[in-house]
Amino acid sequence: MKANVKKGDVVMVISGSTKDKQATVAAVDYDGGRVTLEGEGAKKIKKHVKPKRAQDKGGIMEQSGTVHISNVMPICGACGKPTRVGHKEIEENGKKKKVRVCVKCGAVLTSPKLSQPKSIVERVKKRISRRSDKEKEKAGE
């Protein structure tokens, strides 16, 4: 199934028990056409778990449920409103790139995860490189 929602997008639930609430997309099941949400708008389900070993605890666990992909709309970062998604081709560094666009204001929809470092390892490497740069500056003075 084709979807205009990606992992990390901020979306508004437009139908169901959590209608008009915002959430972040945690996972997308493209084949089943469903999304798992995190945050206020996430649908919570209760699962009964039986202990597998003597040390394990059983009981009722609460976890995020899934919502059909048609019941969420991405929120535009520029205008802050839920919007339908259009597609455009833009040119960057001589290469054509297909991007998602807000239909209402025309701004490019970007995933919040794209602007953040990909992993904790990268963050640590950046901190270490900053420290070594500062140490080099102090040694040069």
Cβ of 107: how many Cβ atoms within 10 Å?
A: 13
- For residue 89, what are its two tokens? 């081709």
- For residue 136, what are its two tokens? 């080099």
Domain ranges of the chain: 1-75, 83-110, 112-141
Per CATH, which fold does 1-75 belong to? SH3 type barrels. (2.30.30)
pTM beyond 0.85: no
pLDDT along the chain (141 residues), means of 10: 85 90 91 90 89 89 90 89 90 87 87 51 68 66 57
CA dist 19 and 35 (Å) reads 15
